[in-house]
Chain A
Amino acid sequence: MIPPAAFFVLAAVLFVLGVIAFFVKKDLLTQFMAVEIMLNAGNLAVLALSKASGKADGQALVLFVITVAAAEAVIGLAIIVLVFRQRKSIRTDDLKDLKG
């Protein structure tokens, strides 16, 4: 039996890794993956809480989140593909048209 605290630690580690990856990497695709890692770290934390409290609500919630995340990933990847087709680059430093 793995104690719940271990899941929390794993979730926290994954989250921080995601944050660091997001800030360190400079291409959109990797940053997008970093965001996904942060999201799943959150999922893991919810699951751990659900298990600790002995209720199934959290697990149901996470199922929904994963479903929505799948859709979101499709749209996100599609946007990245379109950006690449237009600009021939997905480096975030090149994409600064919104500068005021």
Chain B
Amino acid sequence: MAELFWLIPIIPGASALLLLIFGRRFSRAWVALQASAAVLISLLLSTAAFLRLAQSGHGAPALAKELLAWISSGSFSTAISFRLDELSAVMALVVTGVGFLIHVYSAGYMAGDKGHPRYFAFLNLFTFFMLVLVMASDIVLMFVGWEGVGLCSYLLIGFWFDRPAASKAGLKAFIVTRVGDAGFIIGILFLLTTVGSADIAAINAAPGAGLLSPALVTLIAVLLFVGATGKSAQIPLYVWLPDAMEGPTPVSALIHAATMVTAGVYMVCRLSGLYAASVTASSVVAWVGAVTAVFAATLALVQNDIKRVLAYSTISQIGYMFIGCGVGAYAAGMFHLVTHAFFKSLLFLAAGSVIHALGGEQDMRRMGGLRKKLPVTFPVFLIGALAISGVPFLSGFFSKDAILTSAFAGRHYALYVLGLAGAVLTAFYMFRLIYRTFYGQERSSLAPGQHVHEPPRTMTIPLVILAAFSALAGFIGLPVFFGERANVFGRFLEGVLGRGPHGLAPSTETVLVLAATLSALLGIGLAFVFYRKSPQIPSSLARRFPGLYRLLLGKYHVDEAYEAVIVRPLVRGAEWTYQHFDLKVVDGVLNGSASAAGLAGKGLNVLQSGLLRDYALAFLLGAILFLGFLLI
């Protein structure tokens, strides 16, 4: 089975093609079934390939397959070829595993939507592009997947395109990430001209082989990271992700929490040879991650839309992953990526279940008291919240701890403190969400005939499975604390990603674990005091610090600043160009050439007499001229 690994992306791709062409003729049940089955087959193939890699141990060659030659130009050539090593196998498992559960969930969530076949076609297409990104063995093909997932993100955010907000959000996501992609493309071009090969293994080996000067390594790594800030919603290009919540909730879970937005982290890990060779680029990565982690967490504190809280939380958590990558602990970053994929997609899907139960309500001010009404959703949401907060022995605890410990071991104390502060904020806003949604009085505004109800089984079963993973996935990456060989995940990836900073004394590790635990509990405790025990505190705080509150509520006015500094001058410039260049020069040249052709036609019309004799005469003269030309 493992030899068929190259079918992992192909199958969802083929299914997407079928659905795009024939989707409208298939029955609804068949569409959902086909889409889910395609991803399930990919999941099984990924598992087989993963097991093969796990059994063969370290030093075993990665699975590789060249499908066909693609570009061959001068000394440069690249092929469509897939490669599955430990890193991409882990990522492929996450994409297909979480993806499959979300496909199943979508079958229930989107059951009544009129765009049903289109939705599943796009979801399959997304899975295809994401797997291409993950399994590409050269950076050009990786870029194809990178852009493809961006396209699917755009299509699915704007899925309900008759809502102006949704189509606008889709456009915003597409354009903002495109800004980052410009950096990514320049980075790729630099790589192609200096390394001379698009192959990722060759790129990772290039700094060591002396093909790249240190300054060039830094430049390329930072340029590629600019692409990652766009795709993974980091400062300064994070603004699209909160708006992306206009899409259907399963899409938010799959694309904007579990997989696509973490593509930036995956890219940095994939090119870890490049990033490890540049201290400057690595600290850029780590600092952007750390600042984003805290910055986005503060924004999540005051949001009232349940999905937007989760969106800012995603931005913040991806910041953590980048801290891990930036301090050299790539495996820790990947570990957090995996656990985050579980608990954040769980949180999104559970939030979707809440929204579904309340008939489309997303505002937490009109929720509350749902604990008893949603007996499945509440416990799984609680597990997800505990996991993301970093409560001991749930998955988020281990992965966040791995990142923070690595930051500490690498002597990046400032990053460590920022990470710890972010952890407090994370626990606080998650439990603010829990208390406002599931506790207190019911504030729903459902019509009298409707009542709050749990969603169908196709939606609750994926929730329970994800909850199990969110709770238990942490045990694959136990800290050194539990023994030198306890970090199964880290050792599996060691061959690709290295080990990262390590070597702290056991006593120090204990203190760090305690600090992480305490910060999680502190955040939860604060939320309990603020939103359960004495609910008047938040509003009195808002009154006492009106400036700060408005700043947070206004999202630091970043959107407005971008609007004023970038968008409006661009629009005005485009308007001026349209008025003066397009209308006058471009249209003028076009209209001019058209009327010149018309005039010429009118002039030559005289020759067209319709008389046979005239034509014959012209013929004769032509023949004589030709003969004369031949003879002379």
Q: Which residues of A contact B (CB under 8 A)?
A: 19, 22-23, 31, 92-93, 95-100
Interface size class of B (residues with CB under 8 A): 10 to 19
CB < 8 Å A-B pair total: 28
Q: How far is the CB of A11 from chain B (nearest CB, A)?
A: 15
Chain A contacts of B616 at CB under 8 A? 22-23
Q: Which residues of B contact A (CB under 8 A)?
A: 605, 607-613, 616-617, 620
Given contacts A93-B613, A96-B610, A99-B611, 4 further A-B contacts (CB under 8 A): A22-B616, A92-B611, A99-B610, A100-B605
Q: How far is the CB of B602 from chain A (nearest CB, A)?
A: 9
Contact of A23 among B607, B609, B610, B613 (CB under 8 A): B613
Once the chains are docked, how many angstroms separate the CA of A98 from the CA of B611? 8
Q: Tell me whether B610 and A98 are in contact (CB under 8 A).
A: yes
Q: Tell me whether A100 and B612 are in contact (CB under 8 A).
A: no
Q: Is the interface of B mostly helix, strand, loop or mixed?
A: helix
Q: Tell me whether B613 and A92 are in contact (CB under 8 A).
A: yes
Looking at B607, B608, B613, B616, the one whose CB has the most chain A CB atoms below 10 A away is: B613
Q: How far is the CB of A87 from chain B (nearest CB, A)?
A: 14
Q: Tell me whether A95 and B612 are in contact (CB under 8 A).
A: yes
Chain B contacts of A95 at CB under 8 A? 610, 612
Once the chains are docked, how many angstroms separate the CA of A82 from the CA of B95? 75
Residue in B closest to A97 when the chains form the complex, CB atoms: B610
Chain B contacts of A92 at CB under 8 A? 611-613
Q: Tell me whether B609 and A99 are in contact (CB under 8 A).
A: yes
Q: A23-B613, A92-B613 are in contact. Are A99 and B608 (CB under 8 A)?
A: yes
Chain A contacts of B620 at CB under 8 A? 19, 23
Q: Tell me whether B617 and A23 are in contact (CB under 8 A).
A: yes
Once the chains are docked, how many angstroms separate the CA of A22 from the CA of B609? 18
Residue in A closest to B601 when the chains form the complex, CB atoms: A100
Once the chains are docked, how many angstroms separate the CA of A40 from the CA of B611? 26
Q: Tell me whether B617 and A96 are in contact (CB under 8 A).
A: no
Chain B contacts of A99 at CB under 8 A? 608-611
Contact of B608 among A22, A31, A93, A100 (CB under 8 A): A100
Once the chains are docked, how many angstroms separate the CA of A99 from the CA of B616? 15
Chain B contacts of A19 at CB under 8 A? 620
Once the chains are docked, how many angstroms separate the CA of A92 from the CA of B612? 6
Q: Tell me whether B611 and A96 are in contact (CB under 8 A).
A: yes
Once the chains are docked, how many angstroms separate the CA of A99 from the CA of B606? 9
Q: How far is the CB of A78 from chain B (nearest CB, A)?
A: 18
Once the chains are docked, how many angstroms separate the CA of A97 from the CA of B609? 9
Q: How far is the CB of B264 from chain A (nearest CB, A)?
A: 65
Residue in B closest to A92 when the chains form the complex, CB atoms: B612
Once the chains are docked, how many angstroms separate the CA of A19 from the CA of B624? 12
Chain B contacts of A98 at CB under 8 A? 608, 610
Q: How far is the CB of A92 from chain B (nearest CB, A)?
A: 4
Once the chains are docked, how many angstroms separate the CA of A97 from the CA of B613? 14
Once the chains are docked, how many angstroms separate the CA of A99 from the CA of B608? 5
Once the chains are docked, how many angstroms separate the CA of A79 from the CA of B607? 25
Once the chains are docked, how many angstroms separate the CA of A31 from the CA of B612? 10
Residue in B closest to A99 when the chains form the complex, CB atoms: B610
Chain A contacts of B612 at CB under 8 A? 31, 92, 95
Can you spell out 28 A-B residue pairs with CB atoms less than 8 angstroms apart? A19-B620, A22-B616, A23-B613, A23-B616, A23-B617, A23-B620, A31-B612, A92-B611, A92-B612, A92-B613, A93-B611, A93-B613, A95-B610, A95-B612, A96-B609, A96-B610, A96-B611, A97-B610, A98-B608, A98-B610, A99-B608, A99-B609, A99-B610, A99-B611, A100-B605, A100-B607, A100-B608, A100-B610
Chain B contacts of A100 at CB under 8 A? 605, 607-608, 610
Residue in B closest to A24 when the chains form the complex, CB atoms: B613
Once the chains are docked, how many angstroms separate the CA of A92 from the CA of B620? 17
Chain A contacts of B613 at CB under 8 A? 23, 92-93
Q: How far is the CB of B179 from chain A (nearest CB, A)?
A: 56
Once the chains are docked, how many angstroms separate the CA of A96 from the CA of B610? 4
Residue in A closest to B607 when the chains form the complex, CB atoms: A100
Residue in B closest to A19 when the chains form the complex, CB atoms: B620
Residue in B closest to A28 when the chains form the complex, CB atoms: B612
Chain B contacts of A22 at CB under 8 A? 616
Once the chains are docked, how many angstroms separate the CA of A13 from the CA of B608? 32
Q: How far is the CB of A33 from chain B (nearest CB, A)?
A: 15
Once the chains are docked, how many angstroms separate the CA of A88 from the CA of B608? 24
Chain B contacts of A97 at CB under 8 A? 610
Those 10 A-B pairs whose CB atoms lie nearest each other, nearest first? A100-B608, A99-B610, A96-B610, A92-B612, A100-B605, A98-B610, A96-B611, A99-B609, A99-B608, A97-B610
Once the chains are docked, how many angstroms separate the CA of A100 from the CA of B613? 15
Once the chains are docked, how many angstroms separate the CA of A86 from the CA of B607? 27
Chain A contacts of B605 at CB under 8 A? 100
Chain A contacts of B610 at CB under 8 A? 95-100
Once the chains are docked, how many angstroms separate the CA of A95 from the CA of B612? 8
Chain B contacts of A31 at CB under 8 A? 612
Once the chains are docked, how many angstroms separate the CA of A52 from the CA of B398? 104
Chain A contacts of B617 at CB under 8 A? 23
Q: How far is the CB of B618 from chain A (nearest CB, A)?
A: 12
Once the chains are docked, how many angstroms separate the CA of A98 from the CA of B605? 11
Q: How far is the CB of A95 from chain B (nearest CB, A)?
A: 7
Q: How far is the CB of A6 from chain B (nearest CB, A)?
A: 22
Once the chains are docked, how many angstroms separate the CA of A100 from the CA of B611? 11
